Copies of this chain bind each other. A is one copy, B any other.
Amino acid sequence: MNDLLLRSVTLPDGTATDLLISAGRIARIGNGLTTEGTVEDCGGALVLPGFVDAHCHVDKTLWGGPWVPHSAAGGLAEVIANERRRRGELGIPSPDYIGALLDAMIAHGTTHARSHVDVDPGVGLGGVEAVREALARRKGRIDVELVAFPQEGLLSKPGTLALLEEAVRSGVENIGGLDPAGIDNDPVGQLDAVFDIAGRYGCGVDIHLHDEGPLGAWQFDLIIERTRVLGLAGKVTISHGFGLCGGISAERQERIIAAMAEQRISMTTVAPVTRPAPPLRAMVAAGATLACGNDGVRDLWSPYGTGDMLERALFLAQGCGFRRDEDIELALDAATHGGARALGLADYGLAEGCFADLCIVDARVPAEAVATRPPRTLVVKSGTIVARHGTLTN
């Protein structure tokens, strides 16, 4: 692999510099660098670390296929039932749709992702296989780890638990859960089952928790307790976590955040506009990690989404009521470094020695990049240019 010199970039802190990439890593950051390899003149544009989409559902997507008008009624249960009914007819999970979405994510500068994948008696491990097939065709262009996700319920859907364990045994990196109280109506049972598998296989845990207020907050406690007892610090994520976002006292919120920081339990938000925003500033102050993800993109859950994490950072910043540059940067951080911490990525970031996963955008400061979401001029994955001006290379 040739060395790659990015001449004249602006770091997020405003420093004007060159950046030399060698053997897939950032070898040098400084002015006046030279190379025998390839040179890209970036004209002073902003460089950002590759985006980390820490919560997506690529198996569900219809991206690249026909337009499918949203057809589900209101509540969570109705949407789940509608998806179960229609996914076969629409040919999902589809390696082609999944691949089309992965391509859009790559073109938008996403270098790492964690995708939940439905695992249930209906689809079995078909979703996992479809995602693996799409990923195999994009090797070296994006790293995606999976979560075996019981979309239809876990204990309430007999046969699912064994399938989740089978998925983990097959190499799926994380075991998922879904509203242990609100969907399964057996919070202790579901969490014990999930953490039992995590404890035995050493895999990660990533629980969808939509339950709000005290019911949601109480399940944070259950998850924190199990993380501590099983020694799974740093391996657990709570997705959505609306219970931490409102409907509880500030003191209760603070205690939960402190325990999350201690056990390195991350929270992942998809920044929905119709729900209270996550307590991002308080989490940062306490050293707890908030990551960010696009959630489902054009699927039977939602017609929205583009796979662009800069757009998701905008939604998060606006949802939090942020206007100052330093606050907007916190939202962007959730879409980059926060995701990297949640996924436990080693050597991530814009520093010498880190993997060269990054993108170049036409903006002067990170806040401007979030406000305008310009096309990614260049996307580099492990030292290789994988996209230019929103289009994949080769």
Q: Mark A321-338, 1 if CB is under 8 A from B, else 0.
A: 101110010000000000
Chain B residues closer than 8 Å to A303, beta-carbon distance: 323, 325, 328, 367-368, 371
Chain B residues closer than 8 Å to A306, beta-carbon distance: 371-372
Q: Mark A300-336, 1 if CB is under 8 A from B, else 0.
A: 0011111000000011001101011100100000000
- Measured CA separation A141–B339 after assembly (Å): 44
Contact of B315 with A69 in the complex, beta carbons under 8 Å:
no
Q: For the complex, is A364 an interface residue (Cβ under 8 Å from B)?
A: yes
- Measured CA separation A67–B315 after assembly (Å): 20
Chain B residues closer than 8 Å to A315, beta-carbon distance: 273
Contact of A274 with B304 in the complex, beta carbons under 8 Å:
no
Task: Select A367's contact among B69, B71, B328, beta carbons within 8 Å.
Answer: B69
Task: Select A274's contact among B319, B328, B367, beta carbons within 8 Å.
Answer: B319
Find the B residue at minimum CB distance from A318.
B273
Question: How far in angstroms is the closest Cβ of chain B from A64?
Answer: 12
* Contact of A67 with B274 at beta-carbon distance under 8 Å, contacts A303-B371, A304-B314, A371-B305 already known: no
Task: Tell me which residues from 65 to 82 in chain A have a Cβ below 8 Å from any Cβ of chain B.
Answer: 67, 69-72
Q: Mark A265-308, 1 if CB is under 8 A from B, else 0.
A: 00000000110000000000000000000000010001111100
Chain B residues closer than 8 Å to A69, beta-carbon distance: 324-325, 365, 367
- Tell me the A residues contacting B by CB distance below 8 Å: 67, 69-72, 273-274, 298, 302-306, 314-315, 318-319, 321, 323-325, 328, 364-365, 367-368, 371-372
